[in-house]
Structure 1
């Protein structure tokens, strides 16, 4: 039994190291070749161009199949989750060796193959290859005008011309052009051919991915303008919050602290005052569903740190280069930052008198992962039904579960214990009264629901333009690389969210409504609602996606993203409001 346990530990250690290193190591070598060394052309996937997630195995179409059992390459957890399956095409390519027109295979067409190819051409199927970790793309075929038919003539490209640029012993750039279109007719024999041309270049290996980066798109003037606009919003909101703290509250403190006024003056001041001071005996009352609130605040704090870490790593490590590197980094960093969620949640739950800390710990550790697992399960079922590469293999599911069960969950447990013991003592400035104060009816715009929905407008406005670039990079084949922009926008989002939530909390307390905890959370979290509404607009106006499969994946992935964004913003809003509430009640007399 001991040997079995040690073997399990070694396996998990190797697995974790593999996940950490898979995105940074070269796939099969150090990317250096000698003359006449074999260079592998990997085929990856094929699918409708307008539906980025609807991808299938390249050989799901009746292309020339390699003989025997061709090699497969697994580049890491993120690559598998991204729907990649690299298979050796067995096409003979050697470093620095030009290949004139050479036959890959003789493709004999029958009715079934013709139908498959025609369906693929009508749906604008494209395919993806890789050579030395550099992508090549091409379309399966095309529709040419046909004088004898109302429909176009389906033609299949039968020749692939591969151009490779190299610098000394390293491949710098690859390009694929297709020629020799042939009409699709049953019973016809097509010669599928290829050629390879090698050219020398002075571009260094470090800059070989620059050709895939769309500089004019991401560095457009509107991108800079959006940053400036958001920055001005930050200045306005911080000024507004400062005015509340420095003027309104200072005057309120001065009135509230006067002891030498006569009774008539004091009664007049009290009647004229706003009501935030009148609820000092209830403002620190524990909120409803304290376990859930603690869990989402802890999870949101973890997600905020996680996003910051991933952005910083992307800035320093060019993670966009590796297939699935961002996803791998996100999963590993999420597991390692689980201590933060437990610490924040456990401390908050204990400070508010919570007793069922085990329930709080389990909910904190499993809330966001299980929501993602639930959405992922539905999408995976759809992908399996369609036979798509987007379907996650069972082994990959086990790997993700093991990471959660053996890394994330124990760290969340440890964080909860530390949070309870180190920051779990109650420290409220005002004592909570036994009998809750009745909340007077106020105008409709001061109700928690309206405050919550209005709270997300300005944070959404600060990230609106960046959402367009993020959505376009994910759904329209753009490589997102301007993580410096993302870092600025993320910091602006945090500041705007805190400021807006503080203002909303102040208005709510002035309305003598002391249920500010959930209101502050939802006020910030409503940002995600506007992002999701924007995603609906983006789907119908900015994309050409179609079909149940792609629609499900688009709105499923977007829902997953918005849930995380809502929890993150909600936690930031609550924590900011919590500091604000403690600050303003610290200097008043709490009788």
Structure 2
């Protein structure tokens, strides 16, 4: 008992010491003369944003200060390739530093070639002071013929201060040196502090681009998508209120006639398949997993975007990705419940297999892409390669959080699902054609917003207009639901009862058009090159589109299911 108490108090003491040591960076409040840490993050080619390496993979040298332990990044930071290392530069709060040499490097043949390659490929690097990002260019190319390659050797940091907090940091690179073997390069730095009127809460505003994200085209796209929703809702309402009402009236007139005199040939269209429309879909296990995963992802997107609207997540490195992982794990019962209930209603017996597949489907999909990209990243020695400890952490989250919660949801869904309820066209009424056409309008409602999202992720923009993304996502859900209902009506009216997969694929085909747009964006809107960046782009875009396909497909199935149950609820079967 005494040992347990001692261990408890030692743990609390250690935590308090850690908090005291790092109180400045956590609280962002500095006392006069208190240490300000300059962290070096990554370096890489400007046009390949995701191809990044540790800063000291280039033959830069560190400053003399070495009394701070290595920065331990969070899971979200590790997945985003953040790899902070101490610069070794001595900076104290509100204490100016005149031009000071902190190290010297004699360029060997190998080091000179490394710097020349970096300058030739427009390498840039990133640093952090008090969680504020700073960017700089490694060097520049002269306009001579043949060109000369120069290295910037002096860093001047201008730090804006409001009260006891850092609110602004600017970097000026100076003193370029010709890169050649045998050259002696002297690296120096300079720090100035100046009062600033910028409030701490507004210090990230300089990194945002309102003129880009709040452009009138952006507003017009939202309005255009909203009008599309109004049109589609009106179309679906017309089908329900006019076409179906006429069918109902015609069908109900038969109640006034003797049953023996009814001409069954008078019934046509969607009523002809009333005995088959509630049959279980083919491949019920796979279908239930796809629907459950899609609705789980829809809940995750709604929760994360709503949270991002309330909390400025872009101010903290990796916070959005960390929140997504947490919300996905917490939403595992949703996928398990929906998938388990649908599988049970379809008459499925292998519920344990369904539960395991449901829990592992999205992680397996993610792992298949991430592992391939990670192997290439390891070959490139890029910072995007996932460390072993963080891989173990992801497996632990999967095994001890996601899998149990998904199993709980599956058991609940299976027990609450109830008993199973199993009861020549023109070319444009064929299911493949309907499925392909079904994704056009949903894609049209989001493709302009996708341009802004792509630009923020693949280029150098900070995405902060989560209100726009929330509205666009709601519009996407409405458009997808309406379109799949119309597609299902056309399919049923052509006397084809196989609406389940058609409703899912009609919504999911939106992702096909988005991936085609991603291919266009890569070749015509970016200057990316190289195996690593290309594989990273197309691999993770395929993963993103697969997630979108699951979400839209699941929403399409739910909307169509409600529609089908509604229209067949009043059909009288003798």
Structure-1-length-normalised TM-score: 0.91
Q: How do 1:90-109 and structure 2 match up within 5 A?
A: 90-109=88-107
Aligned counterparts of 1:491 and 1:172: Cα–Cα separation in 2: 36
Which one of the candidate residues 514, 526, 534 is aligned to 1:531?
Answer: 514
Alpha-carbon shift at residue 162 of structure 1 (Å) = 0.5
Alignment pair present for 1:32 and 2:15: no
Aligned counterparts of 1:289 and 1:258: Cα–Cα separation in 2: 39
Alpha-carbon shift at residue 74 of structure 1 (Å) = 2.2
Alpha-carbon shift at residue 185 of structure 1 (Å) = 1.9
Alpha-carbon shift at residue 270 of structure 1 (Å) = 4.4
Partner of 1:300: 294
SS of residue paired to 1:461: helix
Aligned counterparts of 2:573 and 2:192: Cα–Cα separation in 1: 82
Aligned counterparts of 1:123 and 1:27: Cα–Cα separation in 2: 37
Partner of 1:390: 384
Aligned counterparts of 1:270 and 1:506: Cα–Cα separation in 2: 20
Aligned counterparts of 1:99 and 1:261: Cα–Cα separation in 2: 99
Given that 1:138 and 1:176 are in contact with CA atoms closer than 8 Å, whether structure 2 keeps it comes out as yes
Given that 1:349 and 1:424 are in contact with CA atoms closer than 8 Å, whether structure 2 keeps it comes out as no
Given that 1:71 and 1:87 are in contact with CA atoms closer than 8 Å, whether structure 2 keeps it comes out as no
Partner of 1:341: 335
Alpha-carbon shift at residue 111 of structure 1 (Å) = 1.2
Aligned counterparts of 1:415 and 1:484: Cα–Cα separation in 2: 31
SS of residue paired to 1:73: coil
**Change in 2 beyond 3 A, CA 1:197/1:27:** closer
Partner of 2:187: 192
Q: Which runs of 5+ in 1 are unaligned?
A: 12-21, 433-440
- Deviation sequence 1:115-157 (CA, Å, 0-9, x none): 00000000000000000000100010000122xxx32110001
Given that 1:70 and 1:89 are in contact with CA atoms closer than 8 Å, whether structure 2 keeps it comes out as no
Q: How do 1:469-488 and structure 2 match up within 5 A?
A: 469-488=452-471
Given that 1:209 and 1:321 are in contact with CA atoms closer than 8 Å, whether structure 2 keeps it comes out as yes
Given that 1:164 and 1:171 are in contact with CA atoms closer than 8 Å, whether structure 2 keeps it comes out as yes
Given that 2:25 and 2:131 are in contact with CA atoms closer than 8 Å, whether structure 1 keeps it comes out as no
Q: How do 1:403-422 and structure 2 match up within 5 A?
A: 403-422=397-416
Q: How do 1:162-177 and structure 2 match up within 5 A?
A: 162-177=157-172
Alpha-carbon shift at residue 294 of structure 1 (Å) = 0.4
Alignment pair present for 1:46 and 2:43: yes
Aligned counterparts of 1:219 and 1:590: Cα–Cα separation in 2: 56
**Change in 2 beyond 3 A, CA 1:346/1:379:** same
Partner of 2:319: 325
Given that 1:528 and 1:562 are in contact with CA atoms closer than 8 Å, whether structure 2 keeps it comes out as yes
Moved more, 183-192 or 444-453: 183-192
Aligned counterparts of 1:355 and 1:26: Cα–Cα separation in 2: 56
Which one of the candidate residues 73, 89, 92 is aligned to 1:75?
Answer: 73
Aligned counterparts of 1:424 and 1:322: Cα–Cα separation in 2: 46
Alpha-carbon shift at residue 109 of structure 1 (Å) = 1.3
Alpha-carbon shift at residue 363 of structure 1 (Å) = 1.1
Given that 2:37 and 2:129 are in contact with CA atoms closer than 8 Å, whether structure 1 keeps it comes out as yes
Aligned counterparts of 1:29 and 1:446: Cα–Cα separation in 2: 61
Aligned counterparts of 1:424 and 1:46: Cα–Cα separation in 2: 57
Alpha-carbon shift at residue 261 of structure 1 (Å) = 4.9
Partner of 2:53: 56
Aligned counterparts of 1:535 and 1:26: Cα–Cα separation in 2: 43
Alignment pair present for 1:289 and 2:283: yes
Partner of 1:516: 499
Partner of 2:233: 238
Q: How do 1:367-446 and structure 2 match up within 5 A?
A: 367-426=361-420, 428=421, 432=423, 441-446=424-429
Given that 1:526 and 1:566 are in contact with CA atoms closer than 8 Å, whether structure 2 keeps it comes out as yes
Aligned counterparts of 2:549 and 2:119: Cα–Cα separation in 1: 40
Partner of 1:503: 486
Which one of the candidate residues 216, 221, 224 is aligned to 2:219?
Answer: 224
- Deviation sequence 1:22-72 (CA, Å, 0-9, x none): 9xx988431111111110100000000100110001000001135568632
For these two proteins, the number of residue pairs brought into alignment is: 556
Q: Which runs of 5+ in 2 are unaligned?
A: 12-18
SS of residue paired to 1:145: coil
- Deviation sequence 1:391-432 (CA, Å, 0-9, x none): 001111110111111111100000011111123334x5xx61
Partner of 1:455: 438
Calculate the aligned-residue CA RMSD, in Å. 2.0
Given that 1:81 and 1:392 are in contact with CA atoms closer than 8 Å, whether structure 2 keeps it comes out as yes
Which one of the candidate residues 93, 109, 112 is aligned to 2:110?
Answer: 112
Aligned counterparts of 2:249 and 2:23: Cα–Cα separation in 1: 67
Given that 1:70 and 1:87 are in contact with CA atoms closer than 8 Å, whether structure 2 keeps it comes out as no
Given that 2:62 and 2:89 are in contact with CA atoms closer than 8 Å, whether structure 1 keeps it comes out as no
- Deviation sequence 1:312-352 (CA, Å, 0-9, x none): 11011111111111110001110000000011111111112
Alpha-carbon shift at residue 515 of structure 1 (Å) = 0.6
Aligned counterparts of 1:287 and 1:313: Cα–Cα separation in 2: 36
Q: How do 1:512-591 and structure 2 match up within 5 A?
A: 512-591=495-574
SS of residue paired to 1:29: helix
Given that 1:72 and 1:85 are in contact with CA atoms closer than 8 Å, whether structure 2 keeps it comes out as no
Aligned counterparts of 2:68 and 2:186: Cα–Cα separation in 1: 22
Given that 1:110 and 1:186 are in contact with CA atoms closer than 8 Å, whether structure 2 keeps it comes out as yes
Structure-2-length-normalised TM-score: 0.94
SS of residue paired to 1:480: coil
